[in-house]
Structure 1
Protein backbone atom coordinates (compact mmCIF):
# COMPACT_ATOMS: atom_id res chain seq x y z
CA UNK A 1 0.00 0.00 0.00
CA UNK A 2 1.34 3.42 -0.98
CA UNK A 3 1.68 5.87 1.89
CA UNK A 4 1.55 9.63 1.41
CA UNK A 5 3.13 12.16 3.75
CA UNK A 6 2.49 15.19 1.54
CA UNK A 7 -1.25 15.64 1.05
CA UNK A 8 -3.39 18.41 -0.39
CA UNK A 9 -7.08 18.31 0.40
CA UNK A 10 -10.16 20.37 -0.34
CA UNK A 11 -13.88 20.55 0.29
CA UNK A 12 -15.69 20.27 -3.02
CA UNK A 13 -17.47 23.34 -4.39
CA UNK A 14 -17.40 26.55 -2.29
CA UNK A 15 -19.49 28.73 0.01
CA UNK A 16 -20.78 30.50 -3.10
CA UNK A 17 -21.28 27.31 -5.14
CA UNK A 18 -22.68 24.90 -2.57
CA UNK A 19 -23.11 21.84 -4.78
CA UNK A 20 -25.83 19.30 -4.01
CA UNK A 21 -28.46 19.78 -1.32
CA UNK A 22 -30.75 17.39 0.49
CA UNK A 23 -32.33 16.61 3.85
CA UNK A 24 -31.43 20.05 5.17
CA UNK A 25 -27.76 19.72 4.24
CA UNK A 26 -25.57 21.54 1.73
CA UNK A 27 -22.73 19.63 0.11
CA UNK A 28 -19.95 22.17 0.58
CA UNK A 29 -20.75 22.70 4.25
CA UNK A 30 -20.66 18.97 4.99
CA UNK A 31 -17.58 18.40 2.84
CA UNK A 32 -15.85 21.24 4.65
CA UNK A 33 -16.37 19.51 7.99
CA UNK A 34 -14.74 16.37 6.63
CA UNK A 35 -11.95 18.28 4.95
CA UNK A 36 -11.04 20.31 8.02
CA UNK A 37 -11.20 17.34 10.37
CA UNK A 38 -9.02 15.42 7.91
CA UNK A 39 -6.47 18.25 7.98
CA UNK A 40 -6.45 18.16 11.76
CA UNK A 41 -6.01 14.38 11.79
CA UNK A 42 -3.16 14.51 9.27
CA UNK A 43 -1.35 17.14 11.29
CA UNK A 44 -1.56 14.95 14.37
CA UNK A 45 0.40 12.35 12.36
CA UNK A 46 3.08 14.85 11.41
CA UNK A 47 2.02 14.78 7.76
CA UNK A 48 2.55 17.81 5.53
CA UNK A 49 -0.92 18.97 4.52
CA UNK A 50 -2.14 21.84 2.34
CA UNK A 51 -5.73 23.05 2.27
CA UNK A 52 -6.74 23.68 -1.35
CA UNK A 53 -10.38 24.57 -0.71
CA UNK A 54 -11.63 27.34 -2.99
CA UNK A 55 -13.81 30.35 -2.24
CA UNK A 56 -14.48 31.09 -5.93
CA UNK A 57 -17.95 32.10 -7.09
CA UNK A 58 -18.36 29.72 -10.06
CA UNK A 59 -17.84 25.98 -10.30
CA UNK A 60 -15.34 26.33 -13.13
CA UNK A 61 -13.31 28.83 -11.13
CA UNK A 62 -13.47 26.54 -8.10
CA UNK A 63 -11.98 23.62 -10.03
CA UNK A 64 -9.26 25.74 -11.60
CA UNK A 65 -8.28 27.15 -8.21
CA UNK A 66 -8.25 23.73 -6.52
CA UNK A 67 -5.93 22.34 -9.17
CA UNK A 68 -3.71 25.42 -9.21
CA UNK A 69 -3.26 25.28 -5.44
CA UNK A 70 -2.53 21.55 -5.50
CA UNK A 71 -0.02 21.79 -8.33
CA UNK A 72 1.81 24.60 -6.53
CA UNK A 73 2.86 22.05 -3.91
CA UNK A 74 5.86 19.81 -4.57
CA UNK A 75 4.59 16.63 -6.19
CA UNK A 76 7.18 14.50 -4.41
CA UNK A 77 5.20 11.96 -2.43
CA UNK A 78 2.04 14.00 -2.92
CA UNK A 79 -1.59 12.91 -2.91
CA UNK A 80 -4.46 15.23 -3.83
CA UNK A 81 -7.83 14.63 -2.15
CA UNK A 82 -11.23 16.22 -2.74
CA UNK A 83 -14.24 15.65 -0.45
CA UNK A 84 -17.76 15.51 -1.87
CA UNK A 85 -21.24 14.14 -1.22
CA UNK A 86 -23.24 12.21 -3.80
CA UNK A 87 -26.82 12.92 -4.83
CA UNK A 88 -29.45 10.81 -6.59
CA UNK A 89 -32.89 9.51 -5.63
CA UNK A 90 -33.68 8.84 -1.98
CA UNK A 91 -32.92 5.13 -2.25
CA UNK A 92 -29.32 5.55 -3.45
CA UNK A 93 -26.85 4.84 -0.68
CA UNK A 94 -23.22 4.26 0.06
CA UNK A 95 -19.63 5.36 -0.32
CA UNK A 96 -17.58 5.56 -3.47
CA UNK A 97 -14.15 6.90 -4.34
CA UNK A 98 -13.29 8.18 -7.80
CA UNK A 99 -9.88 7.95 -9.45
CA UNK A 100 -8.31 8.87 -12.79
CA UNK A 101 -6.25 5.87 -13.88
CA UNK A 102 -5.19 2.44 -12.66
CA UNK A 103 -2.28 3.85 -10.67
CA UNK A 104 -4.80 5.19 -8.14
CA UNK A 105 -7.29 2.32 -8.30
CA UNK A 106 -5.98 0.37 -5.32
CA UNK A 107 -5.80 3.44 -3.12
CA UNK A 108 -9.33 4.43 -4.10
CA UNK A 109 -10.51 0.89 -3.35
CA UNK A 110 -8.84 0.86 0.06
CA UNK A 111 -10.26 4.26 1.00
CA UNK A 112 -13.75 3.23 -0.08
CA UNK A 113 -13.59 0.03 1.98
CA UNK A 114 -12.29 1.81 5.08
CA UNK A 115 -14.78 4.66 4.83
CA UNK A 116 -17.77 2.38 4.28
CA UNK A 117 -16.81 0.31 7.33
CA UNK A 118 -16.41 3.40 9.48
CA UNK A 119 -19.78 4.78 8.43
CA UNK A 120 -21.62 1.46 8.28
CA UNK A 121 -22.73 2.19 4.72
CA UNK A 122 -22.63 0.21 1.49
CA UNK A 123 -19.25 0.14 -0.25
CA UNK A 124 -19.95 1.18 -3.83
CA UNK A 125 -16.24 0.85 -4.52
CA UNK A 126 -13.64 2.63 -6.61
CA UNK A 127 -14.78 4.10 -9.92
CA UNK A 128 -12.65 5.41 -12.74
CA UNK A 129 -13.57 8.90 -13.96
CA UNK A 130 -11.40 10.49 -16.61
CA UNK A 131 -13.92 13.26 -17.24
CA UNK A 132 -13.54 15.06 -13.91
CA UNK A 133 -11.39 18.19 -14.07
CA UNK A 134 -9.84 17.78 -10.63
CA UNK A 135 -8.73 14.21 -11.23
CA UNK A 136 -7.51 14.89 -14.75
CA UNK A 137 -5.49 18.03 -14.10
CA UNK A 138 -3.58 17.63 -10.86
CA UNK A 139 0.03 16.60 -11.51
CA UNK A 140 0.09 14.03 -8.71
CA UNK A 141 -2.09 11.04 -7.76
CA UNK A 142 -5.59 12.18 -6.85
CA UNK A 143 -8.83 10.75 -5.48
CA UNK A 144 -12.29 12.25 -5.11
CA UNK A 145 -14.21 10.90 -2.13
CA UNK A 146 -18.01 10.70 -2.25
CA UNK A 147 -18.68 10.28 1.47
CA UNK A 148 -22.38 9.45 1.26
CA UNK A 149 -25.60 10.41 -0.52
CA UNK A 150 -26.84 13.79 0.64
CA UNK A 151 -30.19 12.76 -0.85
CA UNK A 152 -30.47 9.83 1.58
CA UNK A 153 -31.45 10.70 5.16
CA UNK A 154 -29.91 7.54 6.62
CA UNK A 155 -26.64 8.16 4.80
CA UNK A 156 -26.48 11.66 6.22
CA UNK A 157 -27.23 10.47 9.72
CA UNK A 158 -24.23 8.15 9.48
CA UNK A 159 -22.05 10.79 7.83
CA UNK A 160 -22.75 13.37 10.52
CA UNK A 161 -22.65 11.15 13.60
CA UNK A 162 -19.65 9.03 12.60
CA UNK A 163 -17.48 11.70 11.01
CA UNK A 164 -14.60 11.38 13.48
CA UNK A 165 -14.22 7.65 12.85
CA UNK A 166 -14.66 8.13 9.10
CA UNK A 167 -11.97 10.80 8.86
CA UNK A 168 -9.62 8.72 10.96
CA UNK A 169 -10.15 5.71 8.68
CA UNK A 170 -9.34 7.72 5.56
CA UNK A 171 -6.30 9.31 7.21
CA UNK A 172 -4.93 5.92 8.19
CA UNK A 173 -5.29 4.54 4.67
CA UNK A 174 -3.82 7.55 2.89
CA UNK A 175 -0.85 7.90 5.25
CA UNK A 176 -0.28 4.28 6.17
CA UNK A 177 -0.22 5.34 9.82
CA UNK A 178 -2.21 3.78 12.64
CA UNK A 179 -3.23 5.52 15.84
CA UNK A 180 -4.49 3.97 19.03
CA UNK A 181 -6.02 6.96 20.79
CA UNK A 182 -8.98 9.14 19.98
CA UNK A 183 -9.52 12.79 20.96
CA UNK A 184 -11.92 13.20 23.86
CA UNK A 185 -15.34 14.64 23.36
CA UNK A 186 -16.83 17.31 25.54
CA UNK A 187 -20.40 17.00 26.73
CA UNK A 188 -22.51 19.45 24.82
CA UNK A 189 -20.07 19.98 21.94
CA UNK A 190 -22.06 21.44 19.07
CA UNK A 191 -21.34 20.48 15.50
CA UNK A 192 -21.48 24.02 14.20
CA UNK A 193 -18.88 25.12 16.73
CA UNK A 194 -16.59 22.23 15.88
CA UNK A 195 -17.05 23.09 12.22
CA UNK A 196 -16.31 26.73 12.82
CA UNK A 197 -13.21 25.90 14.79
CA UNK A 198 -11.71 24.00 11.89
CA UNK A 199 -12.61 26.29 9.02
CA UNK A 200 -9.06 27.69 8.96
CA UNK A 201 -8.22 31.35 8.37
CA UNK A 202 -10.42 32.06 5.39
CA UNK A 203 -13.44 32.60 7.57
CA UNK A 204 -11.68 34.67 10.16
CA UNK A 205 -8.44 36.61 10.06
CA UNK A 206 -5.14 36.31 8.25
CA UNK A 207 -2.04 35.39 10.22
CA UNK A 208 1.55 34.46 9.51
CA UNK A 209 2.26 31.43 11.65
CA UNK A 210 -0.53 28.89 11.96
CA UNK A 211 1.04 26.86 14.74
CA UNK A 212 1.43 29.81 17.09
CA UNK A 213 -1.48 31.98 16.04
CA UNK A 214 -4.28 29.58 15.10
CA UNK A 215 -6.21 29.82 18.33
CA UNK A 216 -5.47 33.47 18.97
CA UNK A 217 -7.47 34.48 15.92
CA UNK A 218 -10.13 31.84 16.36
CA UNK A 219 -12.58 33.44 18.76
CA UNK A 220 -12.67 37.19 18.22
CA UNK A 221 -15.25 39.88 18.74
CA UNK A 222 -15.08 43.37 17.24
CA UNK A 223 -15.64 46.39 19.44
CA UNK A 224 -15.30 48.67 16.43
CA UNK A 225 -14.26 48.37 12.81
CA UNK A 226 -10.64 48.72 13.80
CA UNK A 227 -10.31 47.02 17.17
CA UNK A 228 -10.46 43.35 18.16
CA UNK A 229 -11.02 41.87 21.58
CA UNK A 230 -10.09 38.28 22.25
CA UNK A 231 -13.03 36.38 23.63
CA UNK A 232 -12.55 35.13 27.20
CA UNK A 233 -12.84 31.35 27.31
CA UNK A 234 -12.78 28.62 29.92
CA UNK A 235 -9.95 26.28 28.82
CA UNK A 236 -9.26 22.86 30.27
CA UNK A 237 -7.06 20.02 29.08
CA UNK A 238 -8.10 16.39 28.57
CA UNK A 239 -5.30 14.03 27.55
CA UNK A 240 -3.50 16.77 25.67
CA UNK A 241 -6.62 18.06 23.95
CA UNK A 242 -8.22 21.32 24.99
CA UNK A 243 -11.88 21.89 25.69
CA UNK A 244 -13.05 25.50 25.68
CA UNK A 245 -16.36 27.16 26.39
CA UNK A 246 -17.29 30.61 25.14
CA UNK A 247 -18.29 33.13 27.80
CA UNK A 248 -20.31 35.24 25.38
CA UNK A 249 -21.90 35.17 21.94
CA UNK A 250 -19.32 35.64 19.18
CA UNK A 251 -19.95 37.12 15.75
CA UNK A 252 -17.57 35.77 13.11
CA UNK A 253 -16.47 37.67 10.04
CA UNK A 254 -15.15 36.49 6.68
CA UNK A 255 -12.77 39.41 6.23
CA UNK A 256 -10.16 41.11 8.38
CA UNK A 257 -11.92 44.48 8.09
CA UNK A 258 -14.99 43.08 9.84
CA UNK A 259 -17.38 44.16 7.11
CA UNK A 260 -18.73 40.76 6.08
CA UNK A 261 -20.56 38.86 8.79
CA UNK A 262 -20.31 35.08 8.61
CA UNK A 263 -23.74 33.45 8.81
CA UNK A 264 -22.89 31.28 11.82
CA UNK A 265 -22.26 32.46 15.34
CA UNK A 266 -20.65 30.90 18.35
CA UNK A 267 -23.15 31.12 21.19
CA UNK A 268 -22.38 31.66 24.86
CA UNK A 269 -21.81 28.27 26.47
CA UNK A 270 -20.81 26.50 23.25
CA UNK A 271 -17.88 24.14 23.61
CA UNK A 272 -15.21 22.97 21.19
CA UNK A 273 -12.29 20.52 21.25
CA UNK A 274 -8.89 21.09 19.66
CA UNK A 275 -5.20 20.47 20.13
CA UNK A 276 -4.42 24.04 19.06
CA UNK A 277 -6.46 25.79 21.74
CA UNK A 278 -3.55 25.63 24.17
CA UNK A 279 -2.20 28.67 22.32
CA UNK A 280 -5.06 30.87 23.50
CA UNK A 281 -4.08 33.75 25.77
CA UNK A 282 -6.72 34.10 28.45
Structure 2
Protein backbone atom coordinates (compact mmCIF):
# COMPACT_ATOMS: atom_id res chain seq x y z
CA UNK A 1 0.00 0.00 0.00
CA UNK A 2 1.22 3.51 -0.84
CA UNK A 3 0.29 6.42 1.37
CA UNK A 4 0.27 9.73 -0.47
CA UNK A 5 0.61 13.19 1.01
CA UNK A 6 -1.78 15.97 0.01
CA UNK A 7 0.95 17.45 -2.22
CA UNK A 8 1.45 14.08 -3.94
CA UNK A 9 -2.30 13.79 -4.52
CA UNK A 10 -2.28 17.28 -6.03
CA UNK A 11 0.66 16.47 -8.30
CA UNK A 12 -1.03 13.24 -9.38
CA UNK A 13 -4.18 15.19 -10.22
CA UNK A 14 -2.23 17.79 -12.19
CA UNK A 15 -0.41 15.12 -14.19
CA UNK A 16 -3.56 13.08 -14.76
CA UNK A 17 -5.35 16.18 -16.02
CA UNK A 18 -2.45 16.98 -18.36
CA UNK A 19 -2.32 13.41 -19.65
CA UNK A 20 -6.07 13.28 -20.27
CA UNK A 21 -6.23 16.71 -21.89
CA UNK A 22 -4.62 15.81 -25.19
CA UNK A 23 -2.00 18.51 -24.64
CA UNK A 24 1.16 18.38 -26.75
CA UNK A 25 3.34 19.82 -23.97
CA UNK A 26 3.33 20.51 -20.23
CA UNK A 27 4.83 23.76 -18.90
CA UNK A 28 4.95 24.51 -15.18
CA UNK A 29 5.95 28.01 -14.06
CA UNK A 30 7.66 28.49 -10.70
CA UNK A 31 9.79 30.79 -8.59
CA UNK A 32 12.96 29.37 -7.12
CA UNK A 33 14.24 29.97 -3.58
CA UNK A 34 17.40 28.98 -1.80
CA UNK A 35 19.47 31.22 0.45
CA UNK A 36 18.72 34.79 -0.61
CA UNK A 37 21.95 34.99 -2.59
CA UNK A 38 21.41 32.48 -5.41
CA UNK A 39 19.93 34.03 -8.51
CA UNK A 40 19.01 33.51 -12.12
CA UNK A 41 16.65 31.71 -14.42
CA UNK A 42 16.72 27.97 -15.10
CA UNK A 43 14.50 25.41 -16.75
CA UNK A 44 14.20 21.86 -15.50
CA UNK A 45 13.49 19.14 -18.05
CA UNK A 46 12.96 15.41 -18.20
CA UNK A 47 15.10 13.07 -20.29
CA UNK A 48 13.32 13.27 -23.63
CA UNK A 49 14.95 15.12 -26.52
CA UNK A 50 11.65 16.94 -27.08
CA UNK A 51 11.59 18.24 -23.50
CA UNK A 52 15.17 19.44 -23.85
CA UNK A 53 14.30 21.24 -27.10
CA UNK A 54 11.25 22.85 -25.48
CA UNK A 55 13.31 23.78 -22.43
CA UNK A 56 16.01 25.47 -24.50
CA UNK A 57 13.45 27.47 -26.47
CA UNK A 58 11.62 28.73 -23.38
CA UNK A 59 14.78 29.29 -21.31
CA UNK A 60 16.35 31.46 -24.03
CA UNK A 61 13.26 33.65 -24.37
CA UNK A 62 12.74 34.12 -20.62
CA UNK A 63 16.42 34.85 -20.11
CA UNK A 64 16.30 37.51 -22.86
CA UNK A 65 13.45 39.29 -21.11
CA UNK A 66 14.67 39.11 -17.52
CA UNK A 67 18.40 39.33 -18.25
CA UNK A 68 19.22 37.46 -15.09
CA UNK A 69 22.09 34.98 -14.82
CA UNK A 70 21.38 32.07 -17.15
CA UNK A 71 21.46 28.93 -15.03
CA UNK A 72 20.55 26.94 -18.13
CA UNK A 73 18.71 23.70 -18.69
CA UNK A 74 18.95 20.99 -16.05
CA UNK A 75 17.78 17.42 -16.47
CA UNK A 76 15.61 16.48 -13.51
CA UNK A 77 13.79 13.27 -14.46
CA UNK A 78 13.19 12.63 -10.74
CA UNK A 79 10.64 15.46 -10.49
CA UNK A 80 7.15 14.01 -10.46
CA UNK A 81 5.59 16.39 -12.98
CA UNK A 82 8.45 15.75 -15.41
CA UNK A 83 8.20 11.97 -15.23
CA UNK A 84 4.46 11.42 -14.77
CA UNK A 85 3.36 13.44 -17.78
CA UNK A 86 3.24 11.66 -21.13
CA UNK A 87 4.21 14.68 -23.20
CA UNK A 88 7.37 16.80 -23.25
CA UNK A 89 7.38 18.58 -19.90
CA UNK A 90 9.38 21.45 -18.44
CA UNK A 91 9.43 23.37 -15.18
CA UNK A 92 10.56 26.98 -15.56
CA UNK A 93 12.19 28.53 -12.49
CA UNK A 94 11.65 32.15 -13.50
CA UNK A 95 13.82 33.75 -10.81
CA UNK A 96 14.76 33.41 -7.16
CA UNK A 97 11.95 34.95 -5.16
CA UNK A 98 14.16 35.24 -2.07
CA UNK A 99 16.79 37.25 -3.98
CA UNK A 100 15.92 40.96 -3.91
CA UNK A 101 17.77 41.74 -7.16
CA UNK A 102 16.00 38.89 -9.02
CA UNK A 103 12.63 39.92 -7.68
CA UNK A 104 13.15 43.58 -8.63
CA UNK A 105 14.14 42.44 -12.14
CA UNK A 106 10.98 40.32 -12.45
CA UNK A 107 8.54 42.88 -11.03
CA UNK A 108 6.96 44.90 -13.82
CA UNK A 109 8.01 42.30 -16.38
CA UNK A 110 5.37 39.70 -15.58
CA UNK A 111 3.54 40.10 -18.88
CA UNK A 112 6.77 40.22 -20.88
CA UNK A 113 7.87 37.02 -19.12
CA UNK A 114 4.58 35.31 -19.95
CA UNK A 115 4.94 36.38 -23.59
CA UNK A 116 8.51 35.05 -23.59
CA UNK A 117 7.26 31.64 -22.42
CA UNK A 118 4.59 31.70 -25.14
CA UNK A 119 7.17 32.68 -27.77
CA UNK A 120 9.41 29.81 -26.68
CA UNK A 121 6.48 27.41 -26.92
CA UNK A 122 5.71 28.68 -30.44
CA UNK A 123 9.35 28.28 -31.44
CA UNK A 124 9.28 24.70 -30.14
CA UNK A 125 6.00 24.04 -31.97
CA UNK A 126 7.52 25.22 -35.24
CA UNK A 127 10.57 23.00 -34.72
CA UNK A 128 8.47 20.01 -33.64
CA UNK A 129 6.11 20.36 -36.58
CA UNK A 130 2.84 21.29 -34.93
CA UNK A 131 0.90 24.51 -34.91
CA UNK A 132 0.55 26.32 -31.59
Whether 1:108 and 2:55 are equivalent positions in the alignment is yes
2:20 maps to which of 52, 72, 75: 72
- 1:69-148 alignment runs, 5 A limit: 69-75=17-23, 78-103=24-49, 104-148=51-95
The 5 Å alignment of 1:153-192 reads 153-176=100-123
Instruction: For residues 3-49 of structure 1, give each alpha carbon's deviation from its aligned partner in whole angstroms, at most 9, with x where no partner exists.
Output: xxxxxxxxxxxxxxxxxxxxxxxxxxxxxxxxxxxxxxxxxxxxxxx
SS in 2 for 1:131: coil
Measured in 2, the distance between the counterparts of 1:116 and 1:62 equals 29
The count of aligned residue pairs is 119
Is the CA contact (8 Å cut-off) linking 2:41 and 2:72 kept in structure 1? Answer: yes
| TM-score normalized by the length of structure 2 | 0.83
Structure of higher CA gyration radius: 1
The alignment partner of 2:62 has SS state of: helix
TM-score by length of 1: 0.40
Residues 112 and 124 in structure 1, CA contact (< 8 A), matched pair in contact too: no
> Segments of 4+ in structure 1 off by > 2 A?
none
In 1: Cα distance, 2:88 partner to 2:68 partner: 26
Q: Any idea what the Cα deviations from partners look like across 1:93-115, whole Å, max 9, x if unmatched?
A: 00000110141212212211210
Aligned partners of 2:48 and 2:88 also within 8 Å: no
CA shift, 1:58, in A, is: 2.5
- The structure richer in strand per residue is 1
CA distance in 2, matches of 1:74, 1:112: 24
